[in-house]
């Protein structure tokens, strides 16, 4: 072969390499465990095993058409929360494809015939191998930081063939985060209220510690400090320890059905914390998804918490923000009653600094 011919062939190959993929529209990216994920085209039948992802897929996709299966706990949030109202057909989506503990039911999964399965990475082969061994494509995501959250939301948008949806979303996240950070990054530790998040409180208490914990991250973002920073991750604690920490603000999770702020006010020891005495006990709102873990409504969480933690610094018009966000995410017009319900107004309407969230 002559050098000229070789060069010519090389150029041709290069051209083909760039042109052909464009024609075949296949989607390739690397997931958060460094695996290459290849799809022949935008995913049409996605199964989401991590709990927040069902609502994220719906939000990015703008509907339920491409969501074929989800985690039963995601389903619970949908039926309990507003997403089930916005997208009533979501109640019919298969939730038997996995157990609550993320171990997939391969037969059920195969019956659903997904072209993409979103699953947790970093938690061992038991969660992943059944999927890949059955010949299905898995996309693995990692929990914990805002960076990772953006990473996997971006991947999801790409998989759906709608990268622009995430691009807009990221702009919003960035804007809110910068706005909050600008005011809080220089707050000295002494002026940061102690915030304690109970990941479990009924029949045994667990608090969210620091160390790869999203609750801890946004507590710090909004200018608070994690009362349970001593703990690694989410760990069991006793009432005495909580009294010793004496948090200024207490937040409650959305994973315990029927949980109300009375769980704190009725407890003999918790009711004597500064948080309880000052009526600063709040259950995190439950919107399109629970506001505790990272999801597409996280910026709303940050704004909500910022208003609560530093009312002297922040005055977000949360109701307006929520209406705007839901329009963008779900093409839905929130009613005042919807908002009250999401923010648990019945339960904690009279909590400190909550009047900022009341309808005018």
Partner 1 sequence: MSASEEGLASLARPFVRMPRAVAIYVGAIVVLALVLVTGVSVGRYAVDPVRILDIVGQSLADPFRDLAEVDERIVMLVRLPRVLLVALSGAALAVSGAALQGVFRNPLVSPQVLGISQGAAFGGAMAILFGIWGLPLLAIVFLSGLSALALVGFIARINGRSEIVTVILSGMIVGAMFSALVSLAQFLADPNGPLPAIVYWLMGSFASTTWERLFVAAPGLAVGMILLWALRFRLNVLSLDEAEARSLGARPDVERWLVFALVAFIVGSQVAVSGIVGWIGLVIPHAARLMVGHDHRTLLPASMLLGAAYLVAVDTLARTMTAAEIPLGILTALVGAPVFAVLLRNHYRDRTAK
Does residue 113 contact residue 105 with C-beta atoms inside 8 Å? no
Assess 144 for contact with partner 1 (CB under 8 A).
no
Which residues neighbour 193 within 8 Å (Cβ) at sequence distance 6 or greater? Answer: 224, 225, 248, 249, 309, 310
Among 20, 40, 244, 337, binds partner 1 (CB under 8 A): 244
Assess 304 for contact with partner 1 (CB under 8 A).
no
Residues 272-301 that bind partner 1 (CB under 8 A): 272-273
Does residue 198 contact residue 215 with C-beta atoms inside 8 Å? no
Among 16, 243, 320, 337, binds partner 1 (CB under 8 A): 243
CA–CA gap between residue 219 and residue 167 (Å, rounded): 25
Cβ distance to partner 1 smaller for residue 93 or 201:
201
- Closest approach, Cβ 22 to partner 1, in A, equals 43
Cβ distance to partner 1 smaller for residue 135 or 257:
257
Assess 241 for contact with partner 1 (CB under 8 A).
yes
Q: Which residue, among 176, 188, 207, 173, has the nearest Cα to 306 in the 3D structure? A: 176
CA–CA gap between residue 78 and residue 119 (Å, rounded): 19
Assess 236 for contact with partner 1 (CB under 8 A).
yes
Task: Report the SS3 class of residue 323.
Answer: helix
Among 170, 256, 317, 340, binds partner 1 (CB under 8 A): 256
Assess 269 for contact with partner 1 (CB under 8 A).
yes
Cβ distance to partner 1 smaller for residue 100 or 167:
100
**Contacting range for partner 1; rule: CB under 8 A; set: 105-113, 134-142, 148-156, 254-262:** 254-262
Cβ distance to partner 1 smaller for residue 115 or 248:
248
- Closest approach, Cβ 287 to partner 1, in A, equals 17
CA 11 to chain CA centroid, nearest Å: 45
**Contacting range for partner 1; rule: CB under 8 A; set: 116-124, 143-151, 229-237, 343-351:** 229-237
Give just the sign of the alpha carbon dihedral 309, 310, 312, 314: negative
Residues 56-75 that bind partner 1 (CB under 8 A): 72-73
Cβ distance to partner 1 smaller for residue 230 or 336:
230
- Closest approach, Cβ 81 to partner 1, in A, equals 15
Q: Which residues does residue 198 pair with via DSSP β-bridges, in sequence order?
A: 207, 252
Total site size for partner 1, rule CB under 8 A: 36
Give just the sign of the alpha carbon dihedral 228, 232, 238, 244: negative
CA–CA gap between residue 1 and residue 158 (Å, rounded): 41
Assess 266 for contact with partner 1 (CB under 8 A).
no
**Two tokens, residue 268:** 């003999």
**Two tokens, residue 269:** 């020891």
List helix spans (H) across 113-224. 125-133, 146-159, 163-184, 214-221
Residues 80-119 that bind partner 1 (CB under 8 A): 99-103
Among 150, 183, 235, 279, binds partner 1 (CB under 8 A): 235
Assess 204 for contact with partner 1 (CB under 8 A).
yes
Q: Is 170 exposed, middle or buried (0-12, 13-18, 19+ CB in 10 A)?
A: middle
Under the rule (CB under 8 A), what is the footprint of partner 1?
51, 72-73, 76, 99-103, 200, 203-206, 209, 228, 230-232, 235-241, 243-244, 253, 255-257, 268-269, 272-273
């Amino acid at each position: 072969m002559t050098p000229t011919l070789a060069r010519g062939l090389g150029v041709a190959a290069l051209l083909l390499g760039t042109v052909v993929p464009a024609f075949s529209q296949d989607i390739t990216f690397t997931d958060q465990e460094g695996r290459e994920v290849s799809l022949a085209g935008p995913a049409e039948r996605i199964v989401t095993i991590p709990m927040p992802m069902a609502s994220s897929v719906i939000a990015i996709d703008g509907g339920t058409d491409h969501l074929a299966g989800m985690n039963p706990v995601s389903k619970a949030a949908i039926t309990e929360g507003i997403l089930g109202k916005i997208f009533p057909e979501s109640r019919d989506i298969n939730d038997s494809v996995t157990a609550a503990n993320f171990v997939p039911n391969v037969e059920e999964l195969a019956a659903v015939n997904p072209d993409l399965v979103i699953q947790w990475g970093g938690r061992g082969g038991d969660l992943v191998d059944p999927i890949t061994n059955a010949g299905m494509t898995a996309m693995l995501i990692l929990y914990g930081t805002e960076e990772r959250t953006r990473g996997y939301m971006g991947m999801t948008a790409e998989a759906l063939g709608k990268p622009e949806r995430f691009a807009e979303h990221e702009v919003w996240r960035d804007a809110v985060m910068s706005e909050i950070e600008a005011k809080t990054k220089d707050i000295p530790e002494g002026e940061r209220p102690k915030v304690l998040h109970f990941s479990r409180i009924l029949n045994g208490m667990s608090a969210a510690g620091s160390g790869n914990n999203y609750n801890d991250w946004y507590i710090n973002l909004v200018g608070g400090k994690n009362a349970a920073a001593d703990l690694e991750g989410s760990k069991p604690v006793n009432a005495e320890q909580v009294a010793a920490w004496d948090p200024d603000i207490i937040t409650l999770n959305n994973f315990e059905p029927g949980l109300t702020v009375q769980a704190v006010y009725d407890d003999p020891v918790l009711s004597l914390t500064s948080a309880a005495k000052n009526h600063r006990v709040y259950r995190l709102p439950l919107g399109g998804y629970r506001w505790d873990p990272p999801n597409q409504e996280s910026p709303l969480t940050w704004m909500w918490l910022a208003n609560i933690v530093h009312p002297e610094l922040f005055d977000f018009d949360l109701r307006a923000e929520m209406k705007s966000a839901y329009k963008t995410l779900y093409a839905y017009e929130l009613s005042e009653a919807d908002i009250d319900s999401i923010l648990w107004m019945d339960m904690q309407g009279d909590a400190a600094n909550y009047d900022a969230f009341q309808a005018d």
